[in-house]
């Protein structure tokens, strides 16, 4: 199972007590949800939301094999957290003591989905979390969108320094043949990145482009904004909110929305600065290096 980041800190700020109800809005493989479920025994319930239908089915079957009784207190839903108001009403899931958003992509998506999330594997350029509700793929963006629009995506969602050059070379390459796989795209990106820069980079040259395409395909930033807009309206007084972000774009949105809610008297901010992983955790789980946690409480 994928190691959940900042697990101790999540428990600290959510502060789950017995018989309370919680929501994990990004269930994934359940790494955060299962420790919460243990702490809210015997009657506390957890509503888990997982957008990916394949991951949803796999984790549901695994949990059934491990402990079928868990579903007496776990409601697992295949949906997006942008539909949270409707989901809460459908399952009459109240009162709510706390809600968690872990915005990082799961290890399952990188290693098992075969949808082109990783630049380490030669896979089709898909990058959708849910193909049933989303027709847009990374393949379509790369092969059919105007190069100006691709450049804007790479700048806005990836903060990619060489966005223009990459977009230009994508346009040239697709005139000859389609850019079908992750390795096809990586070849274009590497040709677009100056050699002296590549030598100094601490990350793979394709990291920011892949991030930008994934965000664009799944509308990640607009979904986050929408959710943070409605949360103060649908949650109970005293509900604790914990959000873990993994890049500056998400982090800025969370910070801004928390401050907006605070200025309106809707939220108490529990973290003056974002909480980051300890050196010990980063040694065990390197993906925790970029994680930042912010927490608040509905007033």
Per-residue pLDDT reduced to its tens digit, 43-61: 999 999 999 999 999 999 9
Residue 2 pLDDT greater than 70, yes or no: no
Per-residue pLDDT reduced to its tens digit, 196-214: 888 888 889 999 999 999 9
Mean pLDDT of 271-283: 95
CA-to-CA distance for 282 and 249, rounded, in angstroms?
A: 21
Residue 1 pLDDT greater than 60, yes or no: no
The pLDDT of residue 95 is 97
Residue 278 pLDDT greater than 60, yes or no: yes
Mean pLDDT of 119-137: 96
Which domains are assigned to the chain? 7-109+220-298 (3.40.50.150), 115-218 (1.10.150.170)
CB 215: neighbour CB atoms within 10 A?
22
Provide φ and ψ at 100, rounded to 5°: -120, 135
Do residues 117 and 182 lie in contact, with contact meaning Cβ atoms separated by under 8 Å? no
Strand, helix or coil for residue 49: strand
Mean pLDDT of 256-272: 98
Closest CA to 157 of 109, 82, 203, 221: 221
């Amino acid at each position: 199972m994928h190691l959940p980041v900042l697990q101790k800190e999540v428990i600290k700020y959510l502060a789950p007590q017995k018989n309370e109800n919680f929501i994990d809005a990004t269930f994934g493989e359940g790494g955060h949800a299962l420790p919460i479920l243990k702490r809210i025994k015997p009657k506390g319930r957890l509503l888990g939301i997982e957008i990916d239908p394949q991951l949803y089915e796999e984790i549901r079957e695994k949990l059934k094999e491990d402990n079928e009784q868990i579903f007496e207190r776990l409601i697992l839903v295949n949906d997006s957290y942008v539909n949270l108001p409707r989901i809460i009403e459908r399952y009459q899931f109240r009162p709510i003591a706390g809600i968690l958003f872990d915005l990082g992509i799961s290890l399952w998506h990188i290693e098992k989905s075969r949808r082109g999330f990783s630049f380490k594997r030669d896979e089709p350029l898909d990058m959708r979390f849910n193909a049933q509700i989303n027709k847009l793929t990374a393949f379509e963006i790369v092969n059919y969108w105007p190069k100006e629009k691709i450049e804007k995506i790479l700048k806005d969602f990836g903060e990619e320094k060489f966005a223009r050059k990459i977009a230009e070379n994508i346009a040239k390459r697709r005139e000859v043949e389609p850019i079908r796989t992750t390795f096809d795209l990586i070849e274009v990106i590497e040709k677009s990145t100056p050699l002296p820069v590549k030598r100094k980079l601490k990350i793979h040259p394709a990291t920011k482009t892949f991030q930008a395409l994934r965000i664009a395909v799944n509308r990640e930033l607009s979904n986050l904004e929408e959710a943070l807009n409605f949360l103060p309206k649908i949650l109970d007084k005293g509900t604790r909110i914990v959000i873990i972000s993994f890049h500056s774009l998400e982090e800025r949105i969370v910070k801004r929305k928390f401050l907006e809610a605070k200025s309106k008297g809707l939220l108490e901010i529990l973290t003056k600065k974002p909480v980051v992983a300890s050196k010990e955790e980063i040694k065990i789980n390197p993906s925790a290096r970029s994680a930042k946690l912010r927490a608040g409480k509905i007033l």
